[in-house]
Amino acid sequence: MPISKSDLDLIKAALAEDLAGGEDITSVATIGATATAKADFTARKSGVIAGIEIAEAVLREVGLSEVTRFKADGDHVKAGDILLSVSGNTRAILLAERTALNFFSHLSGIATLTSAWVKEMAGTKCQVRDTRKTTPGMRVLEKYAVRMGGGTNHRMTLSDAALIKDNHIAAAGGVVAAFAKVRELYPNSEIEIEVDTLEQLRDVLPQKPDLVLLDNMSPAQCREAVAIVNGACKLEASGGIAIESAHEYAESGVDYIAIGALTHSAPVFDIGLDLRAE
């Protein structure tokens, strides 16, 4: 993944947050200004990594140029694997350590969780995809991590496509009215609409939606929805779906399962920095 200007801005902001205009008083007190070391970013558990290029960019931002990658984003790794190594000024390495690990561990946690969902849905046509429940300022990176885990992305922004949800429906006066208003104003946009019941699905289907979100429906209801639609549009199941039931939902015939937890609740993937004085 090429590092964008917004990524660099985010890195600079994270480093500035760590220093808060001062200096690393612990490193300045305990480490000579010209001391050098080598350090390895090492996986402490098995999983899928994402964000290795961001971690490298953090290192380079503090002036460390001797960086070697041993793995790539999307790789399955095991505990003990060295992911990335850096050589250079010891103070600089320790300055970059936490910021690099914050990005790397968080994004790898998303990739690892996504991979677990993909594994549960193996053997079906269904894909797991994310939502807009992302960390402010990190949406592009978090959705990238979902892709590295084998998932797919929903819309990136509110302007990418229309998603008519329950509050829009209530404000507009029903599923048909809400759909008609969006279609009239944005005739060329992809339109997805949320339904809470199979009756709503039947009502909106003649409007030819691109995708219908089946909200808080059981696998049995999803199977019935698939039969009702009969290929006329794509279907997405969402709302309180646990990974233990992922395969049952996937087998119902829906095209997607939307999981907000991929980005808002992924456990951090354990990566450590092991320093070796040169």
Q: Which CATH architecture has domain 119-264?
A: Alpha-Beta Barrel (3.20)
Tell me the angle at which helices 5-19 and 52-61 cross, rounded to the nearest 10 degrees: 60
Stretches where the chain sits below pLDDT 50 are none
How many C-beta neighbours within 10 Å does residue 265 have? Answer: 12
**Domain 5-110+267-277, what fold?**
Aldehyde Oxidoreductase; domain 3 (3.90.1170)
- Domain ranges, ordered by start, for the chain: 5-110+267-277, 119-264
Residue recorded with tokens 């070391």: 37
Residues annotated as catalytic are 98, 133, 165, 194, 215
pLDDT reported for residue 1? 77
DSSP bridge pairs for 77: 47
The predicted pLDDT at position 277 comes to: 64
